[in-house]
Amino acid sequence: MPRSLFQVTAAVSALALVPLATSAMAAVDAGNYRELDLFMEIFNRVKTSYVDPVDDKTLVKGAIQGMLAALDPHSSYVDELDFDNMRIATEGEYGGLGLTVTMEDGAVKVVAPTEDTPADRAGIKAGDYITHLDGKLIYGGTLDEAITVMRGPPGTKITLTVVRPGHDKPIDFTLTRETIIQKPVKWEVRDGVGIININTFSQNTGADTRAAVAAIEKELGHPPLGYIVDLRNNGGGLLSQAIEVSDVFLDHGEIVSQRGRTRADIERYYAESVVPGDLTHGLPIIVLIDAGTASASEIVAGALQDHHRGLVMGTTSFGKGSVQTLMQLGPESALRLTTARYYTPSGRSVQEGGITPDIKVPQLSDPDYRTRPVFRESDLRRHLINEIDVDDAAMEEDSNEDPRFSATAEELEAQGIKDFQLHYALDTIKRLGGGQTRSANAGGSPRSSN
């Protein structure tokens, strides 16, 4: 947190009363200067001897990026393009394809397609590798360069060449760019159940979730049998919005804590900070998660799971349990630095291990789910290590066969089931909600008598 002028002045005054340096401090300073001398020597040799002229800004930016890359995958230098990316993430509108991508060993890898976008409708999947854009090889380039090419005016076309693990040949997808409006929350009512699909945690997600709960009750004319909160392929976003969303479903207790380097850095966040009481009146809740459920999404799933407020269903989540702080450096640059780990109400860190569902349900309606490699935080180089050993077996169990889940994608499609995980959640919530409604009616509950 930036200090006031008074604090800085006081700190300088205090230093004046201390001896200049102990021998230990002097040794540390000498070590630092030697490292800086080495850096400047390399900087100057590159400037004078590299095969092509190179400007200072390029070298300094590369040095900063290299320094931060040595820490963890989420600390980075934020320049003008990154600021634009963050604006898109919070405001949610751009011309493009609807893809969340990352860089892995020089290749552009798909983290997740955004629902109901050109990429999603074309069938691009999480785990796909994009090798060419309009026939031009992009391997070895930067992620920013690839993103810049994929974005563009709505109505224009682009061809993506994709390598999909398990497929012998590359696949070409020709897509038409659209104005991608990232609606953070969508809702619907199906078979008396309220389905709330949360796609990202941008600046209005909390308010939109509260509005979705009210709209579901209004459409039905009475409370639903229960709610399904769909967090699949939700890569996260703003911590404040994860707290607001959790608060919709909880009436008391801690939602999340974040812990930095020292005990003084611990911060805790509680229910009823925004919303008084549980807006869903204690009705059954199922939270759907998968390997694309990350960060802020895991905060929500972990809070509802720890408070026994929701039944978590699906496959193990991504496992990003760190907090990044944005520190402004200039008008169009900043430092994104990992400053804390976050913990669920019971004190669990999801770092590396993710959220393990209460009921593991594979996405049987995806014909490639058995062969497509799963990509999680633990696969990223230099990821933060969980302070408690992660049970790798818990994640591996996602791929274990269960006799209940033996249907093929073709068999499910013939039955009209396009999303098996959602179908299974609906069946489960109807059983839970039906039982609650019957017992409530027997007790004369005014809410269930509508």
**Which range is most confident: 114-118, 169-173, 324-328?**
169-173
Give the model's pLDDT for residue 302.
97
324 touches 341 (CB < 8 A) = no
Give 43: exposed, middle or buried? Use CB within 10 Å, 0-12, 13-18, 19+: middle
Q: Are 353 and 319 in contact (CB under 8 A)?
A: yes
**335 residue type, one letter:** L
Tokens of 139: 């391997």
Q: For residue 298, what are the contacts with CB-CB under 8 A and spacing of at least 6?
A: 236, 289, 317, 318, 319, 320, 321, 350, 354, 355
Q: Residue range 112-117: average pLDDT?
A: 83
Contact 182, 93 (CB under 8 A): yes
Residues 338-390: tens digit of each pLDDT: 899 899 999 999 988 899 999 999 999 888 877 777 767 766 766 777 766 55
Is the pLDDT at 3 greater than 50, yes or no? no
At 203, list the tokens. 């600046």
* Model confidence, pTM: 0.75
3-state SS assignment for residue 370: coil
Highest mean pLDDT among 78-92, 186-200, 359-373: 186-200
pLDDT at 12 over 70: no
Can you give the pLDDT at residue 439? 34
Percent above pLDDT 70 for the chain: 81
Task: Please list the alpha-helical segments (H only) found in 92-132.
Answer: 118-122
What is the set of active-site residues?
295, 306, 320
**What is the per-residue pLDDT for 92?**
58
pLDDT at residue 31, as a whole number: 67
How large is the average pLDDT for residues 399-428?
Answer: 85
Q: How confident is the model at residue 17 (pLDDT cuts 50, 70, 90)?
A: very low
| Mean pLDDT, residues 195-203 | 92
